[in-house]
Amino acid sequence: MTAIETQLADVDRALAGRAPLPRANGELVFEEPWQGRVLGMTVVALERAHIPWSEFASHLARAVERHGYDPDEPAAAAYYAAWLEAFEATLVGAGLDLR
């Protein structure tokens, strides 16, 4: 497997069950480009900062719960809004100054 494939497998494994990535017919769903960038940004940043995906997954599961469910809101938008919160919390938790 290539490095990116391995990363994707790690992401998938870490998030499955708790906050699985939005998909349709197996393919990742991005309603807007920023959602894909947020995912890409997280993959790159966690790897470079040596933060395990399990760490992020815990934050994400909580953020998804906190965000709640709104039937009018597109699924991926809700998911990636929670993702952003979780990503920031993970970075702050790792000692990064985001101000």
Length of the chain in residues, anyone? 99
Instruction: Output 27 or 69, the one with its CB closest to other proteins.
Output: 27
DSSP for 13-42, written as a single string = HHHTTTSPPPEETTEEP-SSHHHHHHHHHH
Find out whether 76 and 35 touch, Cβ atoms under 8 Å. yes
Instruction: Output 23 or 66, the one with its CB closest to other proteins.
Output: 23
| DSSP type of residue 1 | -
Contact residues for other proteins (CB under 8 A)? 1, 4-5, 7-9, 12, 16-17, 20, 23, 25-28, 30, 32, 34, 36-41, 43-45, 48-49, 72-74, 77, 80-81, 84, 87-88, 96, 98
Where do we find the tokens 């395990």?
A: 52
Taking the complex as a whole, the smallest distance from the CB of residue 58 to other proteins amounts, in Å, to 18
Instruction: Output 58 or 81, the one with its CB closest to other proteins.
Output: 81
